[in-house]
Structure 1
Amino acid sequence: MSDALTQNYAGAFGGKAGFGKSPALILIDFVEAYFAPESPLYAGVEDALDSALRVRAAARAAGVPVILTNVIYHPGGIDGGRFFEKVPALRAFEAGSAMGAWPRGLVPHADELVLTKQYPSAFFGTSLASTLTARGIDQVILTGLSTSGCVRASCVDAVSHGFRTAVVAEGCGDRHPAPHEANLFDMNAKYADVVSEEAIITYLSALELPA
C-alpha cells in the first residue's frame, strides 16, 4: 500500500487487538473449487493452503482447536438465497459436486470440527459463535479463501461477536492480488491484526493452555 494511504489512515485506524489466551484456528473454505483449473472459482491459491497447513500443524501441536468450514447447497440452491442468485459460480458447491471436496493435503482429523455454511461468514447461520464461547475461546485465527469474500465476512463477524481476531496473511488467498491486498489492509486497519505466518506460529508455540 502507498505511503499516502498509510498516512491517511494514521491516527484514525490501525490499533492493535493483541493476542488472547485461548485461541481457535479456523480454516475457511479450503475446497477443491479454488484449486481445480476447470472450476469457475479457480484462484491458484496453493501457497495459501500450504501456509494454512503449517499453521494448522502448529495449532494441533499446541492443543488449539481447529475448525474447518465448507459450503454445500441443496441442488438448485434453494438454501442459498440472494447470494446464490448473485454469484452463479456458487453452483460449484451444490451437493455432490467434486468442487466441494477437500483439496490435497487437507483431510479433517476426527477431533476437528467441520461447519457447513451457505453464506460468506463462517458465523452466519452456523453454531460457530456459541461453540467458541462454550469452549472459553477468546481469540480466533483466520486463514482461508477468499480474502475479499468469506475471510473478510468472517473477520467482521468475529470481532462483532467479541473475539480477538488475527488474520494470517500468507494463509489467505484471492483470485487477484488487488482485492487480496486491499482487504488485508482494511481488515488490519479496522477489525483484526493481520499477522505473518511466522508470527502466528511463534504465538502458538509459546502458548500454555490448561490441561
Structure 2
Amino acid sequence: MSDDLLENYKRAYNTRVGFGKKPALVMIDFCRAYFEPDCDLYCGQPVYDAIESALRVREVARKAGVPVILTCVQYHASGVDGGRFFEKAAPLRYFVKGHPMAAWGPGLEPFEDELVIPKQYPSAFFGTSLASTLTAMGVDSVLLTGLSTSGCVRASCVDAMSHGFRTAVIADACGDRHSGPHEANLFDMNAKYADVIDEAEALAYLSGL
C-alpha cells in the first residue's frame, strides 16, 4: 500500500469498534481440502500457520468460557443445494457430503460442546441458524478465524457486522492461497466492517474475560 493510499483511507475510514462483552469464536471452514497438495484448493504454508493460530486462540477461548462455533461446507451429492455458487466455483465438488476433502484440517476436531454449522454459501450466516443462535446465547460480538480470507471469511465478516455483532477478524488465524488477496481483504475489512487484530491482541482480550 502506498503512503498516499493509506492516508486517503485513514481520512475516510479510521474507526475502531472495539470488543464486546460476550464474544463467540467462529472458526470458518478449516477443511482438509486446503491442506492437501493434490487438491485444487491447496493453499500451502499460509493455511498451516492460520490453523495453528486458530487452535491457540480456541484453547484460550475455551478456558475463558467463550462459545466456539465451527462451520463447514456441505452439499447434497447432486450439488443442487449449492445453486449458482456450486456452478461457478468448481472446487466446491470436494464438499459433497462424505468426500474426504471435506474432513477437518490437521489438529482440528470439534469438541462435544462446540456447535458445528454446515453451510452452502460463503457466509457463515447466509441460510444458517448462526445469527439467531448467537442472539439467543446473548452473544454481542464475534471473533472470526478461517479460510479463505478473501472468500468465506470476508463474506462472514460483512454479514456479522450486518447482523449487529461487533466483529473482529484475527489476521494470523486466517489464510488464503496468495498473500495479495489475503492482505487486500484484511485491509478492506478493517476499513469498513470489522477490527482486524493479531493473535496476541485476541489472546490478551480472551485471557482478560
TM (normalized to structure 1)? 0.97
Question: 1-side partners of 2:181 and 2:99: how far apart?
Answer: 27
The C-alpha deviation readout for 1:72-112, integer Å capped at 9, x for no partner, is: 11112110000000011110111110000012210100000
**1:22 alignment partner in structure 2:** 22
- Counting matched residue pairs gives 207
Which one has the bigger helix percentage? Answer: 2
**1:92 alignment partner in structure 2:** 94
Question: 2-side partners of 1:14 and 1:109: how far apart?
Answer: 38
Find the residue that maps to 2:42 and give its secondary structure: coil
**2:161 alignment partner in structure 1:** 159
Runs ≥4 residues deviating over 2 A: none
What RMSD, in angstroms, separates the aligned Cα atoms of the two structures?
Answer: 0.6
Q: Offset at 1:8?
A: 1.4
The C-alpha deviation readout for 1:186-205, integer Å capped at 9, x for no partner, is: 00000000001000000000
**1:33 alignment partner in structure 2:** 33
Find the residue that maps to 2:11 and give its secondary structure: coil
Q: Percent identity?
A: 69
Find the residue that maps to 2:94 and give its secondary structure: helix
Question: 2-side partners of 1:139 and 1:5: how far apart?
Answer: 30
Find the residue that maps to 1:123 and give its secondary structure: coil
Which of the numbers 54, 57, 60 marks the counterpart of 2:56? 54
The C-alpha deviation readout for 1:152-175, integer Å capped at 9, x for no partner, is: 000000000000000000000000
Question: 2-side partners of 1:131 and 1:2: how far apart?
Answer: 42
Question: 1-side partners of 2:37 and 2:19: how far apart?
Answer: 37
The correspondence of residues 1-211 of structure 1 with structure 2, limited to 5 A, is 1-44=1-44, 45-207=47-209
Find the residue that maps to 1:80 and give its secondary structure: helix
Question: 2-side partners of 1:141 and 1:101: how far apart?
Answer: 23
- Unaligned runs of at least 5 residues, structure 1: none
Find the residue that maps to 1:69 and give its secondary structure: strand
Question: 1-side partners of 2:81 and 2:101: how far apart?
Answer: 18
TM (normalized to structure 2)? 0.98
Question: 2-side partners of 1:25 and 1:199: how far apart?
Answer: 14
Question: 1-side partners of 2:141 and 2:121: how far apart?
Answer: 22
